[in-house]
Amino acid sequence: MKLFFAPLFLILLSLLPLNAQSYLSVTAKRGDGILVLLGRYGLDRSPCNLKKFCQLNKLKETDYLMVGKNYKLPILKYKYNGQSIRSTIGISSWQKAKQIERYNESMELFRLKTSFKTKNAPLWYPHHLKACAVNLEKHIPKGRHFPILGKNFADVPLKDKRLAGAVYYLVSGHGGPDPGAVANYKGKPICEDEYAYDITLRLARELLSHGALVYLIVRDANDGIRQLEYLPKDGDERCWPNKSIPKGQSERLSQRSDVINDLYRENLRKGLYYQRLVEIHIDSRSKKQRIDLFFYHYPESLRGRELARRLHQHIRGKYKQHRASRAYKGTVKARDLHMLREVIPTPVFIEVGNIQNPKDQKRILLPANRQALADWLAEGLIKDY
């Protein structure tokens, strides 16, 4: 009786899921270890991914990688069917499909792949989303006390977990040696950076209450959320985690974008693919010119444009509901700004009013109005997630 053995490549092929082409193969660079290589491709450093990598490459966890040698990553490649991620891969979960989409978007941002919707470009399905226990809730901050929010607002109860796994980098405009736009109110100077910061703190608190991971890039240890109309000027703001803010505008902006990009890479290695930057400013125009909220995105960022449009649409709906007497005139526009161009997470830049206009001043001076702005922006961000 003769025994027939299937060729090895056929046996390996049979172990792949239906429609999957193969596992992604990449070349090790100088300085690469297993965890470094996994992190570069957005694979969280879990035992699950480490075990699969070693299995695919017949290695031990303590082995070194050889420069110039190809290694298989625990990432399955699929040919997109032009319809949906779920039908391409053969899954039913909409949430998992969104995670896969966000993973692919992150890899596109690092120019490690092209969009899977492009002809002949594969859809990547990371092993940990397929076979490992992905627990986004573990990234919800466990301690619910945040002193940076101020004495009366530091305790933030967890309302729900709708934003579990979402990461936000919040930047209030200017700060430190730069107060931003300045106007007069009842004989006193009011400064853009103080009011933008207060709105940003309120937005941070609301996002935290839904389980998000939030980074306040511009920070002031003395100024938490303040229930005051007049917020006096100071110049002691710092940059995350506690760096002094440079005087020069170019150095100041580069400091912020560098910090954000480092944090982005760090969180990507944890498997957090939904990361957004929200920057809040207050415009300065002619005293007679009343404006609504303006949203800016980088010209070449499709996801940034989608985020700006979604927030704009939500705010417009809120104004129609609460201020039906006047049409909403806020817009969405593309702008080539440093904080839109030089950051990796999808950014949106928001101007919340004209600091010179008496009616717009009420939007930023009244604490209840600042809170409403923060609440509405948070609702729009929840919709985006």
pLDDT of 33: 94
The Cα–Cα gap between 329 and 292 comes to 6
- Residue 69 reports pLDDT greater than 50: yes
The Cα–Cα gap between 152 and 144 comes to 13
The Cα–Cα gap between 145 and 313 comes to 33
Give Cα 216 distance to the centre of its chain.
12
Average of per-residue pLDDT across 188-207: 98
User: Residue 354 — very low, low, confident or very high, per pLDDT cuts 50/70/90?
Assistant: very high
**Domain range list for the chain:** 23-133, 137-384
Q: Residues in the chain, how many?
A: 385
Q: Mind listing the pLDDT tens digit for each residue in 285-310?
A: 999 999 999 999 999 898 899 999 99
pLDDT of 135: 87
Q: Mind listing the pLDDT tens digit for each residue in 258-279?
A: 999 999 999 998 889 999 999 9
User: Residue 44 — very low, low, confident or very high, per pLDDT cuts 50/70/90?
Assistant: confident
Mean pLDDT of the chain: 92
- Residue 16 reports pLDDT greater than 70: no
pLDDT of 12: 44
Considering only the top CATH level, what class is 137-384? alpha beta
Six-digit token pair at 211?
A: 């389980």
The Cα–Cα gap between 327 and 316 comes to 9
Burial 157-189 (b: 16+ CB within 10 A, else e): eeeeeebbbbbbbbbbbbbbebbbbebeeeeee
Q: Mind listing the pLDDT tens digit for each residue in 100-134?
A: 999 999 999 889 999 999 988 999 999 999 998 77
Task: Please state the three-class secondary structure of the chain as a single string.
Answer: CCCCCCCHHHHHHHCCCCCEEEEEEEECCCCCCHHHHHHHCCCCCCHHHHHHHHHHHCCCCCCCCCCCCEEEEEEEEEECCCCCHHHHHCCCCHHHHHHHHHHHHHHHHCCCCCCCCCCCCEEEEEHHHHHCCCCHHHHCCCCCECHHHCCCCCECCCCCCCCCCEEEEEEECCECCECCCEEEECCEEEEHHHHHHHHHHHHHHHHHCCCCEEEECEECCCCCCCCCCCCCCCCCCEECCCEECCCCHHHHHHHHHHHHHHHHHHHHCCCCCEEEEEEEEEECCCCCCCCCCEEEECCCCHHHHHHHHHHHHHHHHHHHHHCCCCCCCCCEEECCCHHHHCCCCEEEEEEEEECCCHHHHHHHHCHHHHHHHHHHHHHHHHHHC
- Residue 35 reports pLDDT greater than 50: yes
- Residue 238 reports pLDDT greater than 70: yes
Q: Mind listing the pLDDT tens digit for each residue in 98-107?
A: 999 999 999 9
Asked if residues 273 and 99 have their Cβ atoms less than 8 Å apart, the reply is yes
